[in-house]
Structure 1
Amino acid sequence: MDSVIFDLDGTIWDPIDTVLSAWNNVIRKSSLINSELTRKDFEGTMGLQMNEISRKLFPTLANTERQKIIKDCCEVEQSILEKNGGDLYPNVENVLKELSQKYKLYIVSNCQDGYIEAFYKSHRLDKYFLDFENPGRTGLSKGENIKLVIDRNNLSNPVYVGDTQGDLEAARFANIPFIYAEYGFGQVSQYDMKVKSFEELLRVF
């Protein structure tokens, strides 16, 4: 193994409370939506791309209305995440620091453009990662973005760490091993290895 590619939400951090606050700030000002979102609403969208999230959270809105709401929510979300960050899982930086001394580290997440940059800015962890990708920049699926990072960085033996069924499917698409972050948001029945905490990655690797 020469490298580790990470999912972000539910794997490295839990951003839901920050994101929820940002989105509800926008929703309160909208005449199209009658009720605010809950943490449970967001937990059900983890691992999905933004167009899938918008359909799931706002099923009664027309497509143009959903796009406008999502755009506004993401703009507010990014500015708040940059300032406040999310909840890092225990000892994330220590684990990343140790892993980065042995392996090349990357992030591939199903997020909008600017989201990973906001994560970097709020928690100052960019120094541990060599590259990242997301569908907001490429328009590609997570599996395709994993392959893009592999090809772009000439990786020969990477693994993918994530917490959802979509992460498993993306790793399988890219034909690389999948490590299931059991502590995250999703339920996955198949995996090559699993960890019960972020710290446990040090034991696995």
Structure 2
Amino acid sequence: MMQQTNFDSIIFDLDGTLWDSTQTIADAWNAAATQFDFVEKRVTQEEIRKTAGMPYDAIYDKLFPNLNNAQREQLRTQSGKLELEYLQKQGGQLYPQLEETLQQLQPKYKLFIVSNCQSGYIETFLQFNNLKSYFTDIACFGDKRLPKGENIKAIVQRNNLQRPVYIGDTQGDYEASVQAGVPFILAGYGFGAVQAEVQEINSLSQLQELVKK
């Protein structure tokens, strides 16, 4: 059961919270890697999943530590380009009952997305799945290269939110919400875990209980 709340708005993480696009991303990054003779490594879906929540640039530092900065930047740029192209064609896997849950929540709560992704990624998610109408505002690392905590703060400030909550699936999401001074709910079905006592949901549909309160 969801605990009693008095939230006025819900800010969602994206990967591991609203959808799983890791296979599409792995396909795109591996296609990019074939274009450079200095890249031997191929990434797996599981490796992509384990980097969820990290700032976009930091993912390449972790996955490709043997490349120099110039090589890593070339790969990151091409991977990012192909990632959006692949997602525009293939999308990812929405978590069950996502749109039904958004339909239930929207009349009572303003809805937002904050992610550590590249610019254009959230927009591609919304366009591919025809979900743009449910969300009031979005923010990502790629916009101004700000950490997630700062982007949560920015969403709160520019939308004058009084009682927001952040929903994410990783330790980094939790720490960002703490930094922003926003309560946190763990998406327990997602990619990660949190080393703290937090409220948790095991499916998106559990959020519909908020509407009844």
Provide the TM-score with structure 2 as the length reference.
Answer: 0.93
User: Which whole-Å deviations, capped at 9, do the CAs of 1:161-200 have from their partners, x for residues lacking one?
Assistant: 0000010001001111100001000111225310011111
The residue identity in structure 2 corresponding to 1:121 is: Q
* Gapped regions of structure 1 (runs ≥ 5): none
- Is 1:203 aligned to residue 209 of structure 2? yes
Paired residue total:
205
CA contact under 8 A between 1:16 and 1:42: conserved in structure 2?
yes
Q: In structure 2, what is the equivalent of residue 101 of structure 1?
A: 107
- Is 1:70 aligned to residue 76 of structure 2? yes
CA contact under 8 A between 1:180 and 1:191: conserved in structure 2?
no
CA contact under 8 A between 1:143 and 1:173: conserved in structure 2?
yes
Q: In structure 1, what is the equivalent of residue 174 of structure 2?
A: 168
User: Which whole-Å deviations, capped at 9, do the CAs of 1:89-132 have from their partners, x for residues lacking one?
Assistant: 00100001111111000000001011001101110101000000
The residue identity in structure 1 corresponding to 2:97 is: N
Alpha-carbon separation, structure 1, partners of 2:36 and 2:83: 16
Aligned match for 1:40, one of 38, 46, 50: 46
Aligned match for 2:16, one of 7, 10, 24: 10
**Secondary structure, in 3 states, of the residue corresponding to 2:35?**
coil
**Secondary structure, in 3 states, of the residue corresponding to 2:127?**
helix
- Is 1:179 aligned to residue 182 of structure 2? no
**Secondary structure, in 3 states, of the residue corresponding to 2:208?**
helix
Question: What does 1:128-147 correspond to in 2, within 5 Å?
Answer: 128-147=134-153
Alpha-carbon separation, structure 2, partners of 1:145 and 1:168: 14
Deviation of 1:30 after TM superposition, in Å, equals 1.8
Aligned match for 1:156, one of 155, 162, 167: 162
Q: In structure 2, what is the equivalent of residue 20 of structure 1?
A: 26
* Gapped regions of structure 2 (runs ≥ 5): 1-6
| RMSD across aligned positions (CA) | 1.0
Identity %: 44
Q: In structure 1, what is the equivalent of residue 3 of structure 2?
A: none
Aligned match for 2:196, one of 190, 198, 205: 190
Provide the TM-score with structure 1 as the length reference.
Answer: 0.97
User: Which whole-Å deviations, capped at 9, do the CAs of 1:39-97 have from their partners, x for residues lacking one?
Assistant: 12112211000121011110000011101101100101101112221100001000011
CA contact under 8 A between 1:171 and 1:178: conserved in structure 2?
yes
The residue identity in structure 1 corresponding to 2:103 is: K
Alpha-carbon separation, structure 2, partners of 1:84 and 1:76: 12
CA contact under 8 A between 1:112 and 1:134: conserved in structure 2?
yes
